[in-house]
Amino acid sequence: MVPSASAEDMVELSSKEPRLGISTAIVVAIAMTALASGLGAGITPAFASADPPVVKTRRALDFLGQAAFDWQNQFGCSGCHKQAMTIAALGTARSRGYDAAKPGIIQTLIDGLLTLNSGQQPDGCFTLNNGPDSTEATTFGGRGLEAYDRYFRPKKSNLLAAADCLLSRQASDGRLASDHTELPVAQGDFITTAHGIFTWNRSFELTGNTSYSNAANRAVSWLRGRVSVIQAAPDNFTTQDKAMLLAGLGGSGAGTSDSDVVSMRNLVASEQQADGSWKLRNSETGGNGHATGQVVFALRECGYTRSDSAVDRGTQWLFDHQQGDGSWAPDSWEGSPPSQIAPSMWGALALATYASPLNGLRVAPISGTAGGSATVSWNPVDGASSYDLIRGNVAALTELSDHVDLGPAACLAAATPSTSFQDGQNPSAGQSFFYLMRIRWDSTHDIYGRSSGGRDRIPSSGDCPP
């Protein structure tokens, strides 16, 4: 057993603070509500259609991580988009304040991306099915490495090797020409070029080497040059083409005031279905999570929020059409029957771009009160009907193999509709309190979040009533 309070989870306040030992960092880290895919000890809640959006987002991320993990263990292969886009989704979620993936998921996926069959070669490129070096595979690999290096741990040498491979493959007009088609995931030059921009931009950030920024700029110029071509004949291009053009522009820093971004936003908005979804291409019969997730992600990458009607309707469609396990069905699909990953990876990534509302628990001393009372407050959560608040002793935190034991807890507020609580209790000399909040809705509730190692936090006693 090791203490669960890592440097990432907890920073002690000075003993001069009115409430000795109350840690803002641990309050924030622990307050993020549970991944609702499990309540520890094998208990899985039944979810209703009215689940809060944050719960649906976390369930999507859990599903995607486990699906990629299982696929890798089954096939023993570096699966091009499978590990890479899962890492991108989980990394984006981490940056937006969501709980960690389950133990071992991230490390297993990055190891598989790099070292299993078709993984990164000595020249930095990736292959397909152990064949020759592939631009398409390397752009996906580079995208996964960019996200891993940015959001998890440094992978500079692997990232730069992939970036260098792509430098040698960039066409004179700036694009990265696709050398593989596997509908709908691997198709066209827009997704390869956009992923190249993400890879080169991160490489430039790490090194200052202008060969990377110049390559990214040439790629952006190619994308901009295609806007008018797509506008002239939109049915000749897939939704992925249009979304990845937008994502590449957004990844380069272009925002909602950029004329090309506005033009492409208006085009994809005009193709949005009445139910809020997007189809893989205009000739398809209906929308799905792959296309809808791509467009929502691309618009979010350009800075659009839910105040934009296209983003709002697309986001709501993802929430409304998510299956009970967190996935999206491969409706109106193209190509071979997909893995569990492909139909859901873009939906999960799109939802992960929104900040977690469970990342804002605060403790503030009440001036002038005897004994140093404090107000514990948190943000209202969309879809939550009430909240539970508990208090515990930092010294009791212990990370076990399957969960974090919070030790004995005190339920301060059970099923309260309020978003604040005044606590007049002070820790004993040399002790520190932590506070955790969980949300309730309908007849169920979440748990109290996860440790940085991905283990659910569960009190040994004193929890608020179920």
pLDDT value for 368: 60
pLDDT tens-digit readout, 239-250: 999 999 999 999
Give tens-digit pLDDT for 388-403: 999 999 999 999 999 9
Mapping DSSP to helix (H, G, I), strand (E, B) and coil, where does residue 125 land?
coil
Q: What is the pTM of this model?
A: 0.90
Q: What residue spans of 278-418 are helical by DSSP H?
A: 289-301, 309-320, 342-352
DSSP for 52-113, written as a single string: -HHHHHHHHHHHHHHHHHHHHHHH-B--THHHHHHHHHHHHHHHTTPPPPSTTHHHHHHHHH
Q: Is the pLDDT of residue 193 over 70?
A: yes
Confidence of residue 352 (pLDDT cuts 50, 70, 90): very high
Using one digit for the tens of pLDDT, what is the confidence trace for 131-185? 999 999 999 999 999 999 999 999 999 999 999 999 999 999 999 999 999 999 9
pLDDT tens, 411-455? 999 999 999 999 999 888 899 999 999 999 999 999 899 999 999
Determine the 3-state secondary structure of 421 from DSSP: strand
30 vs 283, more confident:
283
Q: What is the pLDDT of residue 373?
A: 87
As beta bridge partners, residue 203 has: none
Q: Is the model's pLDDT at 5 over the cut of 50? A: no
- Whether the pLDDT of residue 84 is over 60: the answer is yes
Judge whether residue 201 has pLDDT over 80: yes
Domains plus CATH for the chain? 24-33+361-458 (2.60.40), 53-352 (1.50.10.20)
- Measured CA to CA, the distance from residue 166 to residue 123 in angstroms comes to 11
Contact assessment for residue 328 and residue 338, using Cβ atoms and an 8 Å cutoff: no
The answer to whether residues 248 and 197 touch, using CB atoms and an 8 Å cutoff, is yes
Angle between helices 105-115 and 81-95 (to 10 degrees): 140
**For residue range 15-60, what is the model confidence (pLDDT) as tens digits?**
223 333 333 333 433 333 332 323 233 333 333 368 999 999 999 9
CA distance 142 to 117: 16
The answer to whether the bond into 184 is cis (omega within 30° of 0) is yes
Residue indicated by tokens 């304040």: 97
Mean pLDDT of the chain: 90
Burial class (CB in 10 A: 0-12, 13-18, 19+), 429: exposed
Q: Are the CB atoms for 448 and 416 separated by under 8 Å?
A: no
